């Protein structure tokens, strides 16, 4: 399962991001946001699994990025840890909105606008791009 599991999570993440983009175009903003958040979350979990060999639970992208920074530090990948921490600091507010989207997009009392959904999709994309870059740097690409 070790090689298959992270690849499965990444495939799901990529599918959810594609779906999020399509839903945005169809003006289904709440569902677009929900899928974008899941895409970032799943990609983070795939990389965490590759680094630790353990499945990760939880829904907070910020928490998952924090765990990634700690794992990188423990694995003596200090530059990777710094990159994650710097990204998280620079995008603190946007990442908080991404985390909130997990619940608000389904149970919230308001609907996301097109502009809000677009912004959250961009944040999710930037998280995935960060993680892809780290994966390439640490593992030389996909497993």
Domain extent for 77: 4-139
The CA distances from residue 104 to 65, 74, 97, 99, 140, in Å, are 21, 34, 10, 9, 36
pLDDT(3) > 70: no
CATH number for the domain spanning 23: value is 1.20.120.330
pLDDT(1) > 60: no
Query: Per residue in 33-48, pLDDT tens?
Result: 999 999 999 999 999 9
Mean pLDDT of the chain: 95
Task: With CA atoms as reference, report the closest residue to 134 among 52, 77, 60.
Answer: 77
Q: Stretch 119-123: mean pLDDT, rounded?
A: 98
pLDDT(107) > 90: yes
Confidence band of 141 (pLDDT split at 50, 70, 90):
low
Between 1-5, 85-89, 90-94, 121-125, the lowest mean confidence (pLDDT) is in 1-5
* Cα–Cα distance for residue pair 79/21, rounded to 1 Å: 32
In the chain, count of helices (H) and strands (E)?
A: 6, 0
Residue 142, pLDDT score: 52
Task: With CA atoms as reference, report the closest residue to 133 among 96, 80, 62.
Answer: 80
Number of separate domains in the chain: 1
pLDDT(52) > 80: yes
């Amino acid at each position: 399962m070790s090689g298959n599991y992270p690849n499965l999570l990444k495939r799901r993440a990529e599918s959810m991001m594609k779906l999020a983009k399509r839903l945005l175009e169809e003006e289904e903003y709440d569902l677009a946001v929900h899928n974008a958040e899941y895409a970032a979350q799943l990609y983070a979990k795939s990389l965490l699994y590759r680094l630790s060999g353990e499945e990760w639970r939880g829904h907070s992208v910020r928490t998952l990025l924090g765990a990634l920074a700690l794992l990188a530090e423990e694995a003596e990948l200090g530059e990777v840890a710094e990159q994650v921490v710097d990204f998280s600091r620079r995008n603190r507010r946007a990442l908080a909105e991404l985390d909130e989207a997990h619940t608000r997009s389904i149970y919230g009392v308001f609907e996301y606008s097109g502009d809000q959904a677009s912004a959250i999709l961009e944040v999710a994309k930037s998280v995935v791009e960060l993680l892809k870059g780290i994966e390439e740097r640490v593992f030389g690409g996909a497993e």
